[in-house]
Amino acid sequence: MFGIKDIVDILIVALLLFYLYRLMKNSGTLSLFYGVLAFIVIWVVSFEIFNMRLTGTIVDKFMSIGLIVLVILFQDQIKRFLIDIGSRGRWSVFRRLFKHQDKDDDQEHSRVLSVVYACMSMSKSKTGALIVFQRKVPLTDYEKTGDIIDADINARLIENIFFKNSPLHDGAMIIANHRIKSVGCILPVSHDMNIPKNLGLRHRAALGMSQVTDAICVIVSEETGNISVARDGAITVKVTTIELEHILSSAFTQQ
């Protein structure tokens, strides 16, 4: 008999599939998700509904091996999914009850303004820059690809690091836990064919980072001086400083 428990069961599965769909879409692996979903449908129809033993047995063997393959293929997405469920942001309502909100907000806003001022200055001088802000997914592996500095967020420091003659200007800067953790970092480059051809390697690296993690990436173009932001697998170009301040303020508040 179809009851409330069955309805809840269907809703849970539907929510999981929707979340996975959104996650795959943002990471650029949506076609692979469709392929896996089609394979599961074939398995259910042949083995569970029509009881086709031969087809069902073959597909069932592939499903057993496929679980391991899926974990390997989607390890970044699975990691992001689990971290998102258990992240502090999910329980921020309780956490904020015990924190000094006014003082923390002032400090966060000061850090945001430091980054915005640095980006504004680099935009005027057409100094290329790529700054990555950690959110829920740890970026420890990417921090290790560069030089660890673990410094306070400071506008002049950011400008000096990305100065053309600086030995650390190549690569990305990673900001995590309200500090500049590492500079000169190597990021995964997106191979999305829909990226406009006028966007360079910094933009592709920022987009690639936003596809495999939930980080917010800020890019200052060396050619045009335009500021762009990549997040959730999408990139927004020609961002104003007011828009940038709003985006970064939201990101810091969620940490």
Cα–Cα dist 18/182, whole Å: 35
Q: Phi and psi at residue 229, in whole multiples of 5°?
A: -130, 130
Cβ–Cβ under 8 Å, residues 220 and 123: yes
The conformation of residue 91, written as its DSSP 8-state character, comes to G
The stretch 146-154 carries a mean pLDDT of: 93
Cβ-proximal residues to 67 (8 Å cutoff; 6+ apart), any chain: none
Residue 93 has pLDDT above 80, yes or no: no
3-state secondary structure (DSSP) of residue 199: coil
Specify whether the CB–CB gap between 217 and 231 falls below 8 A: yes
Closest CA to 134 of 176, 186, 170, 86: 176
Between 87 and 175, whose confidence is greater? 175
Spatial separation of the C-alpha atoms in residues 115 and 221, rounded to whole Å: 15
Q: Are strands 172-176 and 227-231 parallel, antiparallel or unpaired?
A: unpaired
**pLDDT of res. 7:** 82
Which tokens hold the place of 241?
A: 């400083």
Average pLDDT along the chain: 80
**Would the pLDDT of 58 be above 80?**
no
The string of pLDDT tens digits covering residues 99-147 is: 555 555 667 788 899 999 999 999 999 999 999 999 888 899 899 999 9
Q: How far is CA 43 from CA 4, 21, 37, in A?
A: 27, 20, 10
Cα three-residue angle 33-36-37, rounded to 5 degrees? 85
Q: What angle do CA 112, 145, 238 make, to 5 degrees?
A: 40
- How long is the chain? 255
Do residues 217 and 209 lie in contact, with contact meaning Cβ atoms separated by under 8 Å? yes
Residues 255, 119: Cα–Cα separation, whole Å: 22
Where are the strands (E) in the chain, listed by range?
129-133, 147-152, 172-176, 179-185, 216-220, 227-231, 234-236
User: Residue 225 has what pLDDT?
Assistant: 93
